C-alpha cells in the first residue's frame, strides 16, 4: 500500500508539473494583451506599457514561469489583473458556489442513479427495467444545458416559482441558496444519473451472474439479501470508476450550467477570465481544476482498495 501510494503521489506531482508547463505555454500563445483589455481603446502606448510593467508582464518568459511555479508551491497565487484581489481569495469565493453545486449534483445523481440501477437490475427484462433504461437513454442524450433551459422555461418562465438564474449569496441564508442552486443541481444531476444508473444496472447484472451470488443463495440468503449484502459492494467498482470520470464531466458541466444560470462560480470565472485575459486567474484555475481531477482519480484508486480487498496488495497467509 505504501509503495502504491508513493508511486501515485510521484506521478501526481509530475503530471501537475507538466500541466503547469502546458498551461503556461498555451497562455503565452494566447493572443490578446491583458493590459489592453483593461485600458480600452483610448489608452496610450506608454500607459499600456506602464500597466504591463505593473503587472509584471514585461519580465522574461522563463523568469515568469519559474516564479509562478514556485509561488504555486508556496500557495501564493498572485493578484488578479482585473479584479485586483488575490487570486486565491477570488477562487475561494467562487468555490463557495461551485463546490456546493458539484456536491449537490453528485449527491443527487447518486441518490437517483443507484436506486434506479438496482431497481432495473432486480427487475431485469421486466417493464420496470425497460422504463429505467428508457429514462437512461433519454437522459444520456439530452444536453444538460438544454435540460437547464427546459427547467427554466417550466419553473421560472411558466410557473415563476424559482429564479431563472443568479446566486442569492450565502449571507442570504441556506434557503435562498438552495433555491438558487436547485435548478442548476437538477440540470447537472439528471443527465449524470442517467449514465450512472446504466452503469449500476449493468455492473449489478454482471455481478449477479457470478458464482458467489449462487453460493449466497445456496446458503439461503433471499433475493434482497443477495442484492444488498453480496452484489452491491462488488458492483461498486465500475460505479465508482464512472463517478470518478464523471467528476471531470461535472466540472465541464458546471462551466456550461453556471453560464446558463448565471451563477458566480468557478466555471463562469474561468470563462470570464479567459475573455478578459486575466491570465493569472486562468492559469491558476486550470491547474487547480486539473489538480482536482487528478486528486479525484487518486481518491478513486484509494476507494477501489477500500471496496475491494484484493487491490490492497496484502500478502497471502
Q: Site residues for other proteins, window 131-150 (CB under 8 A)?
A: 137-138, 140-143, 145-147, 149-150
Nine-digit cell at 77? 497565487
In the set 60, 75, 127, 220, which binds other proteins (CB under 8 A)?
A: 220
Cβ-in-10-Å burial (0-12, 13-18, 19+) of 67 comes to: middle
Minimal distance, residue 158 CB to other proteins, in Å: 7
Closer to other proteins by Cβ: residue 119 or 259: 259
In the set 42, 60, 62, 74, which binds other proteins (CB under 8 A)?
A: 42
Closer to other proteins by Cβ: residue 53 or 70: 53
Closer to other proteins by Cβ: residue 113 or 289: 289
Site for other proteins contains 56 (CB under 8 A): no
Minimal distance, residue 75 CB to other proteins, in Å: 20
In the set 3, 60, 74, 211, which binds other proteins (CB under 8 A)?
A: 211
Q: How many CB atoms lie within 10 A of CB 71?
A: 15
Site for other proteins contains 228 (CB under 8 A): no
How far is C-alpha 265 from the geometric centre of its chain's CA atoms? 12
In the set 58, 70, 107, 215, which binds other proteins (CB under 8 A)?
A: 215
Closer to other proteins by Cβ: residue 53 or 66: 53
Site for other proteins contains 100 (CB under 8 A): no
Distance, in Å, from the CA atom of 201 to the CA atom of 148, rounded to the nearest integer, reads 26
Contacts 24+ apart (CB under 8 A), 277-280: 277/30, 277/32, 277/33, 277/34, 277/37, 277/81, 278/34, 278/80, 278/81, 278/82, 278/83, 279/27, 279/30, 279/34, 279/81, 280/77, 280/78, 280/79, 280/80, 280/81, 280/87
Distance, in Å, from the CA atom of 52 to the CA atom of 58, rounded to the nearest integer, reads 6
In the set 2, 44, 74, 127, which binds other proteins (CB under 8 A)?
A: 44
In the set 269, 280, 284, 303, which binds other proteins (CB under 8 A)?
A: 269
Closer to other proteins by Cβ: residue 69 or 221: 221
Site for other proteins contains 165 (CB under 8 A): yes
Closer to other proteins by Cβ: residue 110 or 234: 234
- Name residues contacting other proteins, limited to 59-98 (CB under 8 A): 82-85, 90, 93-94
User: Which residues fall within 8 angstroms of residue 55, CB to CB, at 6 or more apart?
Assistant: 34, 35, 81
Site for other proteins contains 8 (CB under 8 A): no
Minimal distance, residue 73 CB to other proteins, in Å: 19
How far is C-alpha 303 from the geometric centre of its chain's CA atoms? 17
Applying CB under 8 A, which part among 69-77, 100-108, 112-120, 230-238 lies near other proteins? 230-238
**What does the angle CA 34 – CA 39 – CA 45 come to, to the nearest 5 degrees?**
90
Beta bridge partners of 243: none
H-run or E-run covering 38: helix 34-39
Nine-digit cell at 69? 511555479
Using DSSP's 3-state secondary structure scheme, residue 307 falls into helix
Backbone angles phi, psi at 40, to 5 degrees: 75, -170
In the set 110, 117, 120, 163, which binds other proteins (CB under 8 A)?
A: 163
- Name residues contacting other proteins, limited to 21-40 (CB under 8 A): 26, 29-34, 36-40
In the set 179, 302, 304, 305, which binds other proteins (CB under 8 A)?
A: 179
Amino acid at each position: 500500500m505504501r509503495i502504491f501510494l508513493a508511486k501515485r503521489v510521484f506521478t501526481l506531482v509530475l503530471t501537475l508539473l507538466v500541466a503547469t508547463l502546458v498551461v503556461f505555454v498555451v497562455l503565452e500563445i494566447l493572443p490578446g494583451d491583458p493590459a489592453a483589455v483593461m485600458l480600452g481603446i483610448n489608452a496610450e502606448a506608454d500607459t499600456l506599457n506602464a500597466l504591463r510593467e505593473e503587472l509584471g508582464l514585461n519580465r522574461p518568459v522563463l523568469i515568469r514561469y519559474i516564479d509562478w511555479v514556485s509561488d504555486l508551491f508556496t500557495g501564493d497565487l498572485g493578484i488578479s489583473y482585473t479584479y485586483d484581489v488575490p487570486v486565491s481569495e477570488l477562487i475561494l469565493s467562487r468555490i463557495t458556489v461551485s463546490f456546493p453545486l458539484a456536491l449537490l449534483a453528485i449527491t443527487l445523481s447518486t441518490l437517483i442513479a443507484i436506486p434506479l440501477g438496482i431497481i432495473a437490475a432486480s427487475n431485469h427484462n421486466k417493464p420496470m427495467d425497460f422504463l429505467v433504461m428508457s429514462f437512461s437513454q433519454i437522459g444520456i442524450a439530452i444536453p444538460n444545458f438544454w435540460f437547464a433551459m427546459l427547467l427554466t422555461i417550466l419553473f421560472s418562465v411558466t410557473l415563476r416559482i424559482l429564479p431563472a438564474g443568479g446566486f442569492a449569496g450565502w449571507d442570504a441564508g441556506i434557503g435562498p441558496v438552495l433555491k438558487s442552486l436547485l435548478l442548476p443541481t437538477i440540470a447537472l444531476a439528471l443527465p449524470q444519473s442517467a449514465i450512472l444508473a446504466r452503469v449500476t444496472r449493468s455492473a449489478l447484472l454482471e455481478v449477479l451472474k457470478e458464482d458467489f451470488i449462487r453460493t449466497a443463495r445456496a446458503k439461503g440468503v433471499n433475493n434482497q439479501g443477495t442484492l444488498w449484502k453480496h452484489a452491491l459492494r462488488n458492483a461498486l467498482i465500475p460505479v465508482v470508476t464512472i463517478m470518478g470520470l464523471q467528476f471531470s464531466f461535472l466540472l465541464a458541466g458546471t462551466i456550461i450550467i453556471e453560464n446558463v444560470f448565471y451563477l458566480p462560480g468557478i466555471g463562469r470565472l474561468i470563462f470570464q477570465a479567459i475573455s478578459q485575459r486575466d491570465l493569472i486567474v486562468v492559469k491558476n484555475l486550470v491547474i487547480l481544476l486539473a489538480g482536482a481531477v487528478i486528486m479525484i482519480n487518486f481518491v478513486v484508486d484509494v476507494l477501489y482498495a477500500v471496496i475491494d480487498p484484493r487491490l490492497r496488495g496484502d500478502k497471502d497467509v
